[in-house]
Amino acid sequence: RIRGSEEPDKYVVLGNHRDAWVFGAVDPSSGTATQLELARVLGGLARDGKRPRRSIVFASWDAEEWHLTGSTEWGEQFADDLRRNAIAYLNVDGSTSGPDFEAGAIASLNALVAETVRDVRDPGRSGSVLESWGKAIESERAAVIGGGATRAAGVSRPIDYPGNALGSGSDYTVFLNFLGLPVVEMAFGGDYGVYHSIYDDAYWMEHFGDPGYRYMTAMGDVWGRMALRLANAEHYPHDFV
């Protein structure tokens, strides 16, 4: 926990699980490595006297693959405090399996997500992560026109992306479905044919998933900016309209 300087009882929660099926280089260890690096950087800022206005909590969950157990138990145990004081929960499971940004969020945080990735450079393409994301959505829209076009009709930018059907696939579940908190789930994705297998290892990550760890680094940038904007904003950046 990085204690906030002005409203320490209010906090943003950043979560990732640390249990894997086998080696889990992508799922979840890329997210775990990103979270540890982000904690190091924000902790360094705090030691230099640059604390956020509100607190930031780093959560490392166990037994996600078993039954979302660690996050669910914690969310239930501290439910009253979370409902009173948590501003948002930002989940990164496996942070990186390729170069394509993906996010699901409650609708009131769509603008925050889009504005954050607008300010992060895509390390493998020209322009920002937002620009790459928008092009990917336009490509998806074009691919379904004439067939299953209904779902993608009117999609022109990530802020409108109808990818907010979060379901219950990761540790955000207790925060969304039980506590009713604003959540974001995000990753850099790609062709990930080694999911939950013995081949999800460091060799695959370094040669196929994220050579040079560029997108893992970019996720640290995205995650950290989003957390600090929530923690430092004069007014919470929830767009309920």
Half-sphere exposure (Cβ direction) of 180: Cα atoms closer than 13 Å: 4
> Treating both helix axes as pointing N-terminal to C-terminal, what angle do 110-118 and 129-144 enclose, rounded to 10 degrees?
120
- Give CA–CA dist 60/175, Å, rounded: 15
The span from the CA of 209 to the CA of 53, in Å, is: 36
Query: Per the residue annotation, which of 7, 64, 65, 73 is the catalytic one?
Result: 64
Check if the beta carbon of residue 32 is closer than 8 Å to that of residue 60: yes
Extract long-range pairs of 224-229: CB within 8 Å, 24+ residues apart: 224/38, 224/41, 224/42, 225/116, 225/119, 225/120, 226/90, 226/112, 226/113, 226/116, 226/184, 227/12, 227/14, 227/38, 227/42, 227/52, 227/56, 227/90, 228/42, 228/52, 228/56, 229/112, 229/115, 229/116
204 phi/psi in degrees, rounded to 5: -65, -45
Nearest Cα neighbor of 109 from 82, 88, 132 is 88
Q: What is the CA radius of gyration of the chain?
A: 18
Q: Is 73 annotated in the active site?
A: no
How is residue 195 written in tokens?
Answer: 């999911």
Residues annotated as catalytic (active site), given as ranges: 64
